[in-house]
Structure formats: structure tokens, C-alpha cells
Amino acid sequence: MRSWGLTFCYLALFCTAQVYSDCPDKCTCYGFAITFVDCVKAGLESIPQNLNTNVYAIEISYNNISSIPPNAFSKYEGLVRVELHFNKVEEIEKGLFSDLVSLISMNLIRNRIKRIEPGAFENLTKLNTLNIDHNVIEDIEMDTFLGLENLSSLSMDSNLLKIIKENSFAKLVNLTTLSLINNTIEEIETDAFIGLGKLQNLLISSNRLSRLDERCFDHLKGLSILDLSNNKIHVVGPNDFKFLVNLTTLSLSTNRIRCVHPDSFVTNTKLTTLSLDANSHIVLPTNESLINSNSLETLYLSKCNIRKLPSKIFQNTSKLDTISLHNNLLETFDQSTFSHLNNLNHLDFYNNPFTCDCRLGNAWKWANERKITISARCSNPPEYSGMSWKILNQTSCNSVPTVKGKEVGMIVTCRNYKYDYLLDPDEPDMALIPPESPEPQNVTPSEQNSQCPSQEPLKQMIEPVGGICSSILYVLVLESRTTGICHLGVANWLLAKLGASVKNRTQFWRCPVVPVTSLQAPSCPRSVGGTQLSRFEPRNRETAPSRITRSPAVIYGGSGWPSELRAGIPSHRRGLRSRGLACGSTGLGSMVAAQK
């Protein structure tokens, strides 16, 4: 048995030595009959001629082959794969590959090919994949691809094509993928794609197209994926994609699109994915849907410099599942913009300058209830900067408080977040309600707010707003630490103290929000109890932090205060100046800039 084993080994070595003696120098040959030859970086200047005629794959990449004679492959009719990338071939002449009748795949990437002579591939009836990327081809001549009736994939990326002429690919009747990425294409003629009835994927990104001929895609009834990204397209018209009835995915990202006609995709009833990313000048319609589509499921609108989402922007895209709005300029959003989208599961707001306030808190609650996944981070207020917007889960925000009889909701305390400056609610100077004053009454649990002061901290009745000292006595106008909006509120004991002197208080206290720049909103009365409400006029909204003292400053019980209110303030509090910072009161609602 041992003798037979040794004999078999010797025979195997002998046979192998005989076979591999025909392998070209610096090449590696595989298979018992040399069926695969690897001549990568072998320093070759021509196609090897001493190979076994049964070879089925040859890789001659990274060599110095600059020309290929007509009969270079005449011995190798069985070849199914040829790799000639990274050589110096300049021209493909007619008849060059005429003997490769079994060839299935050819790679000519990164040569110096300027011209392919018509009929060069004429006999390659079995060729399935042809890659001519990274050459210097400027023109596709008539009949360049003659004979390639079974070709399914053609790639001509990174050439110098400027115009795709009519009938350029007319003979490629079974082509399913055509890639023309990163050329210099400026024009596509009307019948450029005639004959490509089976084409499914067309990639024309990174070119110089500024407009689309309304009929250039007429013959692509089977097209499923179209990539026109990174061009110079300005307008998407209503008929540009009219005949692409099987289109499912369209990319128009990184163009110069300003206008998208809402009916541009009405006939594309199978369109599920649309990318409009990185169109920084796109104009969103204010009173109609951006797109009318009953099939669209995924929409990309990132990097479009969007500052606000119009309420009807997605009105006629009811099947949307995913919307990407990352890297825009949105500070907030209203859930009503998305509330009709019953299939919505994902919203991407990443890298928007969100202000995580109570208004956004309502959107968070809506998303949480709908189980919608939203990617978002806070930019403001500064204490939330960089945090996930899920922090809003810890910030309970009630509705804007209103007075019902003698009940009033909680008041949000103020933090000077504009200068990353936090007020200490426990400072003694913040407790301004006179000791003998009754505690607030009748505040229902539903009006409580975990982020707002409880009944006891309602004593903090006067606080600075963005560097502005506000003294409105016990009637509050506070800039919310979370909303940045002035909320109005009053304690029950104060309502009782004011009594009949506050007229029409119900209407006044139901005024929901007052802009921080003015108390004289159109829907709000201008006086309470006959006392004029002054306009909020800060001297300098951009006051530097160094000019703002840490402690709130107030003069209590100034001469301008109504007498019925002054009566409730202890004498030792009247006219008190806090740490060199004073606020006067020339009437209910007066505000003065706070400076050292």
C-alpha cells in the first residue's frame, strides 16, 4: 500500500511539472490543464501566445500592453473571462476579439482607450458584462456595440463623453444596466436610448446636465432605477419622467433644482423612493404639496437649507414611510405637518438646530404616541445642546395657562439660556411673595408641570429675561427656559387681592402667548384694571454675559405701582436694590434694560 501511495505522488508531481512548464514567466497558472492564468504585474507588453488552448480565464492586469494585434486571442476560443485593466491600450480595432466566441465578461478599466471602432465586439454574442470605465472615450459611434445582443451590463464611467447621440445603444436589446457616471455629458438626444426596452438601471450621475429633454426617456418603459444626482438640473418639469411607468427609485440629489412641478411624478405609479438631497436652493410651495404621488414611500430632503416646513408640504404623499430632513436649518416642526401620514415610521432630523422647548415637546409626545422613530438632537437651550431630543421626555409641558374662575396653571421659570447663564431658583432674592400673603390655591394636578415651579416656587415672581430685568409686580411675563416665549400667569391670591380692579381678566389671561418683543399682541388687551401695558423694549438684546449680574434685580413697590398692590408688600422690601442692578416700574408691565 505504501509503495502504491508513493508511486501516485510521483506521477502527480511529474504531470504537474509537465503542465506548468507552459506557464509564462512571472505568471501563475492554476488548474490541472492550466485553465486560469494570472499575469498581474508581470511586466508584459503583449498578450502571451504559448498558453494552453483550453484556458478559460486570463488576467493580464497592471502591465504595459499598449496595443493588441488582431490575432492575439485566436488560439483561445474557449476564453470566458478576460481582465485587461490597468494597461495602456489606446484603441479597440474591429475584429480584435472576433475569435472569442465564448467570452462572457471583459474588463478594460483604466487603459487609455480613445476610440472603439464600430464592429469591434461583433462576434461576442455571449458577452454579458463589459466594463470600459476610466478611459478617454469622447464619442460613441454608430454600431460601436454591434453584435452584443446578449450584453446585460455596460459601464462607461469616468470617460469624456459630452453628448449621448441617438441610437448610441440601439443594438443592446437585452441590456439591463447602463452606467455613464462621471463623464462630461451635457446633452442627451431624444432617441439616445432607443432599443433599450429591457433596461432597468440607468446611472448618469456626476455629469453636466442642466435640463432634460422631455422625450429622452421615452423608450425606457422597463426602467426601475434612475440616478441623475450631481448634475446641474434647475427645474423638474411635469413631463420629464412621464413615460417611466415602472420607475421605482429616482435620485435628483446634488443638483441646482429650484422648482419641482407637483405633477412631475403623477404617471410614475410605482415610484417608491425619491431623493432631492443637497438642492440648496429648492423652493417649497407654501399652499400645496411638494409632490403628488400615491406610491412614494421614502423621500430625501436633506441638505436643502430648509428653515420651515409648510403645513401642506406632504399633503398628497399619503404613503410616506420615511422622510429624511437631516442637515437643514429647522429649529422646530409642527406635528400637524405629518399627522395625516398614517404609514410614517421614520423621520430623520439629525443635525438641525432644534430648540428643545415645549412646542417641540408636543411634537415629541406625538411621535412617541405614534411610535415614530425620529433622529434629532437639541441645539438650544445651551444646557440641552448636543443631547438627543428625547430629553423632552423629562420636560413636561402643559398647555398655555388660562384662568378659569380663580384657577391658573403653573408658570414656567426663566433661565437666561441665551448666554448660557443659569439662575438659581433657590436664591433668597427670588422669594418675593410677602410672608403674610396667602399661598396660591386651587391649582389642579392636571395643571402641574414637573419642569415648572410647584406652588411654593411660585414665590419667584420676578426674573430677568435674556439680560432684561422684568418687573411686572406679581403679574408675570416670563421667557420660558424651554419655549423662549413669554407666558402670562398669576397666582390666585393675587387675583383675590386685585379683586374688581382687574377688569376683563378672563380675556386677558386667556391670551395664550405673547412674543418676547411685545406685550401688545393684536389678540391681547392693552391694559389690566385701567393700567396701561407697556411695550417690551430691551435696549440691547445682545448684551454680553459680562454685563449681566448673576442676581435678579428689582425695586419692589415703586411709586408707579398700583396702590392696591403696594399695600401687600412689606416696607423693608419697597425700593430694595439687588446687587447694584435696578429695575424701575413706570406702570404695570414696564421693563428696563439690565446693565451694571
pLDDT (average), residues 462-475: 29
Closest by alpha carbon to 397, among 331, 487, 521, 507?
487
pLDDT (average), residues 185-194: 95
On whether the CB atoms of residues 116 and 93 are closer than 8 A, the answer is no
| Residue that has been written with the C-alpha cell 405614534 in this structure | 370
Count other C-beta atoms under 10 Å from residue 340's C-beta.
Answer: 13
Q: How far is CA 502 from the centre of its chain?
A: 51
Torsion of CA 18, 22, 26, 27, to 10 degrees: -100
How do residues 207-217 score in pLDDT, each as one tens digit?
999 998 878 99
The pLDDT of residue 563 is above 60:
no
Give the CA angle between residues 323, 324, 330 to the nearest 5°: 110
| Residue that has been written with the C-alpha cell 448660557 in this structure | 420
On whether the CB atoms of residues 478 and 493 are closer than 8 A, the answer is no
Specify if 449 maps to a domain: yes
Specify if 141 maps to a domain: no
pLDDT of residue 343: 97
CB neighbours of 189 closer than 8 A, spacing ≥ 6?
163, 164, 165, 166, 213, 216
Torsion of CA 304, 310, 312, 316, to 10 degrees: 0
β 57-59/36-38 pair status: parallel
pLDDT (average), residues 18-23: 55
The larger pLDDT score, comparing residue 81 to residue 593, is at 81
Specify if 508 maps to a domain: yes
The pLDDT of residue 261 is above 90:
yes
> Among 28-32, 478-482, 505-509, which range has the highest average pLDDT?
28-32
What band does 507 get if pLDDT is binned at 50, 70 and 90?
A: very low
Bridge partners of residue 354, in order along the sequence = 378
The pLDDT of residue 153 is above 60:
yes
pLDDT (average), residues 27-53: 90
pLDDT of residue 31: 83
Among 55-59, 73-77, 371-375, 399-403, which is the least confidently predicted range? 399-403
- Residue 34 has which C-alpha cell? 492550466
pLDDT of residue 395: 61
What band does 396 get if pLDDT is binned at 50, 70 and 90?
A: low
What band does 202 get if pLDDT is binned at 50, 70 and 90?
A: very high
pLDDT of residue 409: 29
How do residues 96-123 score in pLDDT, each as one tens digit?
999 999 999 999 999 999 999 999 999 9
pLDDT (average), residues 30-43: 90
- Is the bond preceding residue 512 a cis peptide, omega within 30 degrees? no
Please tell me whether residue 496 adopts helix, strand or coil conformation.
helix
Tell me the pTM.
0.67
pLDDT (average), residues 540-568: 31
CA distances from 156 to 131, 161, 178, 222, 463 (A): 7, 9, 8, 21, 68
Question: Burial code of 122-153, b = ≥16 C-beta within 10 A, e = fewer?
Answer: bbbebbbbbbbbbbebebbeebbbbbbeebbb
Closest by alpha carbon to 483, among 336, 332, 591, 340?
332
> Among 351-355, 440-444, 537-541, 583-587, which range has the highest average pLDDT?
351-355
pLDDT (average), residues 36-49: 94
The larger pLDDT score, comparing residue 482 to residue 139, is at 139
pLDDT (average), residues 561-580: 34
Specify if 389 maps to a domain: no
Specify if 518 maps to a domain: yes
Range of the domain at 457: 399-596
pLDDT of residue 23: 86
The pLDDT of residue 262 is above 50:
yes
| Residue that has been written with the C-alpha cell 404617471 in this structure | 267
How do residues 305-354 score in pLDDT, each as one tens digit?
999 999 999 999 999 999 999 999 999 999 999 999 999 999 999 999 99
Specify if 470 maps to a domain: yes
CA distances from 561 to 404, 508, 575, 587 (A): 26, 19, 11, 6
What band does 201 get if pLDDT is binned at 50, 70 and 90?
A: very high
How do residues 320-329 score in pLDDT, each as one tens digit?
999 999 999 9
d(CA 443, CA 454): 9
On whether the CB atoms of residues 211 and 186 are closer than 8 A, the answer is no
d(CA 427, CA 464): 13
What band does 136 get if pLDDT is binned at 50, 70 and 90?
A: very high
Count of structural domains within the chain: 1
Q: How far is CA 286 from the centre of its chain?
A: 20
Give the CA angle between residues 216, 222, 225 to the nearest 5°: 80
- With residue 364 as reference, give the H or E element that holds it: helix 358-370
How do residues 417-451 score in pLDDT, each as one tens digit?
232 222 233 333 322 333 333 333 333 333 333 33
The pLDDT of residue 6 is above 70:
no
Specify if 316 maps to a domain: no
Specify if 486 maps to a domain: yes
d(CA 39, CA 23): 10
Average model confidence (pLDDT) across the chain: 71
CA distances from 332 to 315, 397, 449 (A): 19, 15, 21
- With residue 10 as reference, give the H or E element that holds it: helix 2-20
pLDDT of residue 319: 97
